[in-house]
């Protein structure tokens, strides 16, 4: 992705537990990125849009199928949207935590919004509130 100029340096939340991230996300799904689908911008940075093939929706409204999700860019990298690479550029099964901003779904944070999730791996969070 070409360099972009941004004016904001966001201080991203570092989620200590996957449960905390699940609880804060508007959308949590298991899916596989299937290709790029344009770009948008946020905080003055370019954000790559991806088509994600949804395997399962664990929280949120979208149904299984395809969904456009933008990778949240890093905002302190002096004009580079993805200094460590775009996490959704990998065609592998992932757990994706997203929030809706500017009319698009975005991964919650640049570093923790999309994480590899191999078949057979147990979920790292509970999808229902704890009873008690």
Whether the per-residue pLDDT at 26 is higher than 90: the answer is yes
* 3 part of a folded domain: no
Q: Among the listed ranges 9-18, 41-50, 61-70, which one has the minimum average pLDDT value?
A: 9-18
What pLDDT, on the 0 to 100 scale, is given for residue 83?
Answer: 85
- What's 80's DSSP letter? -
Closest CA to 124 of 14, 26, 28, 32: 28
Residues 6+ apart with CB under 8 A from 15: 21, 24, 109, 112
What pLDDT, on the 0 to 100 scale, is given for residue 132?
Answer: 52
* 33 part of a folded domain: yes
Q: In the predicted model, what is the mean pLDDT of residues 33-60?
A: 94
The pLDDT confidence band at residue 7, using thresholds 50, 70 and 90, is low
Domain with 26 in it: 18-116
What pLDDT, on the 0 to 100 scale, is given for residue 10?
Answer: 72
Global pTM reads 0.88
Backbone angles phi, psi at 21, to 5 degrees: -65, -45
What percentage of the chain carries pLDDT values higher than 90? 65
* 72 part of a folded domain: yes
Q: In this structure, what CATH number is given to the domain that contains residue 34?
A: 2.40.50.120
């Amino acid at each position: 992705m070409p360099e972009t100029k941004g004016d904001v340096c966001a201080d991203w939340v570092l989620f200590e537990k996957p449960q905390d991230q699940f609880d804060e996300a508007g959308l949590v799904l298991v899916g596989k990125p299937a290709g790029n689908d344009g770009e948008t911008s946020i905080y003055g940075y370019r954000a790559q849009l991806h088509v994600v093939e949804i395997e399962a929706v664990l929280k949120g409204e979208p149904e299984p199928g395809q969904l456009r999700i933008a990778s949240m860019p890093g905002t302190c990298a002096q004009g580079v949207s993805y200094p460590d690479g775009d996490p959704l550029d990998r065609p592998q099964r992932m757990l994706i935590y997203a929030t809706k901003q500017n009319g698009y779904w975005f991964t919650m944070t640049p570093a923790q919004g999309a994480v590899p999730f191999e078949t057979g791996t147990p979920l790292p969070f509970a999808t229902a509130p704890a009873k008690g």
